[in-house]
């Protein structure tokens, strides 16, 4: 549940550190110090602020899509949609025909911000049956630093391009003999057209090209549907079924969100509730280990200002070290939470280790062990064993 | 695996007599793709720069350049694909942009013929 604003938010002057700041705490963590993994804004900020994990997120890919979605979900801009989540990238709302992947292997800070900026918005029912409350949040995030494409990823893309060119080459070779007949016929017609007057020549050229185009399209369709061609390209594509492109180097992500809450969906019974800013700095693929397992350190800092006078504010500092290879990921994380301001709250810390192992191509076993911040409360012993499935298109990466 | 989407088209490019031309194929939208070129029955792969079509002094008039570009969606942020063919060597350098949307991880195939006219 979102909390009412009852106290002033503390200054956030340390944002220039590598850092993570959030005011106030995530929804589900009310009155409880959040764990490190919750600090890193891996989900869209608006969803994090509401504490929701939407099962369906709208991702419009063009201004027309966005406009249509907005009109449909808001009943022509007359109401706030219920249980709604959207995330969009302004940069990718339009096409970029001049941006090749080679031109995106490394980015300036400006390019990184523009290309990675995404906006999110969500609404969710955050109250209960006795006190229904609707939460509304909007947020944005971007990578100020987004590293560069790894050498292995570049090599994968070059190999993929060669494979794709080979597909076209196969099609061209299979069509070559019959295309030659069509091309020879076209050449004769075009040469003959040169003897005509200007007006007649243009008409004759257009007719000859049209005839060639129709015949070539029919030939293409026949070859592309040929089982021999299909089998051949299917074989080549198996190699690139699951491409996981990775970037290495410094990654600095910054995210922010603001949230409102409305009792019984009544405007006068609601208002601005919370806002937050997150930031995380990580260094993927340490150069100390260029081959084999990769080591990725993540450093985070976050300030949590509680708007209830009954609870203290916290300054959280955390670090996570991730060692991963293709089949496993081992991570160790610790968070130190220090209360700020006047009060008697104690300094707390959390330590946890996570082991992830790939059982099969699409399934990972996960084991977690450690202690939570307050060791006197139920659930402070962290001991979990689980299974994580990789669904198509998610491009799961261990340790993240 | 999602079905491939194919577009076929034929475009004209005005050339000069006894002057070969060059073509460049650029795959945009941060996607990956490869192109096969076939001219007078000889097939080869296009690189990232301009590729010569015809030998020095060759008359390419009334011939056809067959291009097949296959693009794979590798970008998790969107499913746009685009290819821009640039031809030069004639009186005017000309760009021929094409684009289409695919499903996630899908393939777009551009089968484009260029007819060299006078």
pLDDT at A165: 97
pLDDT at A23: 35
pLDDT at A66: 83
Report CB contact under 8 Å: B79, A61: yes
Task: Give me the residue label for tokens 């299974």.
Answer: A387
Average pLDDT, chain A: 79
pLDDT tops 80 at residue A249 = yes
Task: Give the residue with greater pLDDT, A70 vs B65.
Answer: B65
Report CB contact under 8 Å: A179, B71: no
- Which of B30, B69, B109 comes nearest A101 by C-beta? B30
The tens digit of pLDDT for each residue in A196-220 reads: 998 899 999 999 999 999 999 999 9
Largest Cα–Cα distance in chain A?
Answer: 100
Q: Confidence class of residue A291 from pLDDT cuts 50, 70 and 90?
A: low
Task: Give the residue with greater pLDDT, A206 vs A378.
Answer: A206
pLDDT at A392: 43
Report CB contact under 8 Å: B10, A209: yes
Rounded distance between C-alpha atoms, residue A180 and residue B43, angstroms: 12
Interstrand relation of B107-117 and B5-14 (parallel, antiparallel or unpaired):
parallel
A151-193 and A198-224 helices, crossing angle to 10°: 140
Long-range contacts of A321-326 (CB under 8 A, 24+ apart): A321/A295, A321/A296, A321/A297, A322/A295, A322/A296, A322/A297, A322/A298, A322/A399, A322/A400, A323/A293, A323/A294, A323/A295, A323/A296, A323/A399, A324/A293, A324/A294, A324/A296, A324/A356, A324/A398, A324/A399, A325/A292, A325/A293, A325/A294, A326/A358
Q: Confidence class of residue A315 from pLDDT cuts 50, 70 and 90?
A: confident
Report CB contact under 8 Å: A209, B29: no
Q: Confidence class of residue A390 from pLDDT cuts 50, 70 and 90?
A: low
pLDDT tops 70 at residue A334 = yes
Closest B-chain CA to A92: B78
Closest B-chain CA to A224: B6
Least confident piece of the model among A24-33, A56-65, A85-94, A256-265:
A24-33
Q: Residue A212 belongs to what H/E stretch?
A: helix A198-224
Q: Is the peptide bond before A24 cis (omega within 30 degrees of 0)?
A: yes
Which residues of chain B lie closer than 8 angstroms to A220, CB-CB? 6, 8, 111
The tens digit of pLDDT for each residue in A269-279 reads: 888 877 777 77
pLDDT tops 60 at residue A162 = yes
Contacts of A317 (CB under 8 A, 6+ apart): A300, A301, A335, A336, A338
pLDDT at B53: 97
Closest of A76, A141, A153 to residue A112, by C-alpha:
A141
* Reported pTM: 0.78
pLDDT tops 50 at residue B20 = yes
Closest-CA distance, B52 to chain A, in angstroms, reads 17
Distance of CA B97 to the CA centre of its chain: 9
- Contact criterion met (CB below 8 Å) for B110 and B71: yes
pLDDT at A119: 94
Kindly provide the b/e burial profile for residues A345-379, where b requires at least 16 CB atoms within 10 angstroms of the residue's own CB. beebbbbbebebebeeeeebeeebebebbeeeeee
Closest-CA distance, A324 to chain B, in angstroms, reads 22
Average pLDDT, chain B: 95
Closest-CA distance, A279 to chain B, in angstroms, reads 21
Closest-CA distance, B62 to chain A, in angstroms, reads 5
Contacts of A52 (CB under 8 A, 6+ apart): A27, A85, A122, A124
Report CB contact under 8 Å: B36, A165: yes
- Model ipTM? 0.96
Which residues of chain A lie closer than 8 angstroms to B10, CB-CB? 209, 212-213, 216
Closest of B43, B48, B99 to residue B67, by C-alpha:
B43
pLDDT at B69: 98
Rounded distance between C-alpha atoms, residue B98 and residue B5, angstroms: 13
- Which of B34, B68, B115 comes nearest A186 by C-beta? B115
pLDDT tops 70 at residue B21 = yes
Contacts of A76 (CB under 8 A, 6+ apart): none
Task: Give the residue with greater pLDDT, A315 vs A232.
Answer: A232
């Amino acid at each position: 549940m979102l909390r009412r604003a009852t106290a002033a938010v503390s200054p956030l002057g340390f944002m220039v550190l590598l850092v993570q700041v959030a005011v106030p705490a995530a929804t589900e963590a009310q009155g409880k110090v959040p764990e490190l993994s919750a600090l890193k804004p891996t989900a869209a900020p608006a969803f994090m602020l509401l504490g929701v994990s939407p099962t369906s997120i709208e991702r419009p890919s063009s201004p027309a899509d966005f406009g249509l979605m907005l009109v449909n979900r808001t009943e022509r801009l007359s109401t706030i949609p219920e249980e709604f989540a959207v995330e969009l990238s302004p940069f990718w709302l339009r096409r970029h025909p001049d941006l090749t992947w080679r031109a995106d292997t490394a980015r300036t800070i400006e390019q990184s911000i523009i290309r990675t900026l995404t906006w999110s918005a969500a609404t969710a029912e955050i109250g209960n049956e006795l006190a229904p409350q609707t939460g509304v949040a909007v947020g944005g995030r971007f990578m100020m630093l987004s590293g560069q494409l790894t050498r292995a990823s570049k090599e994968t893309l070059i190999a993929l391009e060669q494979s794709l060119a080979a597909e076209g080459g196969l099609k061209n070779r299979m069509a070559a003999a019959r295309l030659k007949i069509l091309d020879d016929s076209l050449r004769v017609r075009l040469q003959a057209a040169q003897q005509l007057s200007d007006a007649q020549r243009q008409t004759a050229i257009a007719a000859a090209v049209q005839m060639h185009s129709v015949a070539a399209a029919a030939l293409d369709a026949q070859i592309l549907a040929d089982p021999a061609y299909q089998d051949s390209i299917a074989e080549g594509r198996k190699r690139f079924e699951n491409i996981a492109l990775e970037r290495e180097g410094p990654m600095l992500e910054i995210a922010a969100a603001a949230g409102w809450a409305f009792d019984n969906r009544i405007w006068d019974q609601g208002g601005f509730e919370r806002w937050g800013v997150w930031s995380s700095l990580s260094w993927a693929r340490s150069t100390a280990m260029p081959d084999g397992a990769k080591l990725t350190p993540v450093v985070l800092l976050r300030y949590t200002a509680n708007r209830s006078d009954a609870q203290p504010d916290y300054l959280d500092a955390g670090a996570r070290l991730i060692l991963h290879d293709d089949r496993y990921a081992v991570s160790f994380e610790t968070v130190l939470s220090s209360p700020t301001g006047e009060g008697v709250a104690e300094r707390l810390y959390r330590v946890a280790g996570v082991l992830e192992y790939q059982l099969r191509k699409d399934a990972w076993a996960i084991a977690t062990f450690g202690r939570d911040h307050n060791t006197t409360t139920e659930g402070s012993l962290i001991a979990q064993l689980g299974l994580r499935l990789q669904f198509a298109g998610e491009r799961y990466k261990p340790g993240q | 695996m999602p079905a491939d989407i194919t577009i076929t088209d034929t475009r004209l490019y005005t050339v000069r007599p006894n002057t070969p031309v060059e073509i460049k194929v650029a795959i945009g939208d941060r996607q990956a793709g490869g192109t096969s070129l076939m001219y007078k029955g000889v097939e080869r792969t296009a690189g990232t720069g301009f590729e010569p079509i015809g030998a020095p002094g060759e008359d390419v008039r009334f011939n056809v350049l067959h291009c097949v570009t296959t693009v794979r969606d590798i970008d998790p942020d969107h499913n746009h694909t685009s290819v821009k063919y640039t031809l030069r060597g004639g009186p005017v350098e000309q760009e021929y942009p094409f684009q289409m949307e695919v499903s996630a991880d899908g393939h777009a195939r551009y089968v484009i013929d260029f007819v060299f006219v006078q």
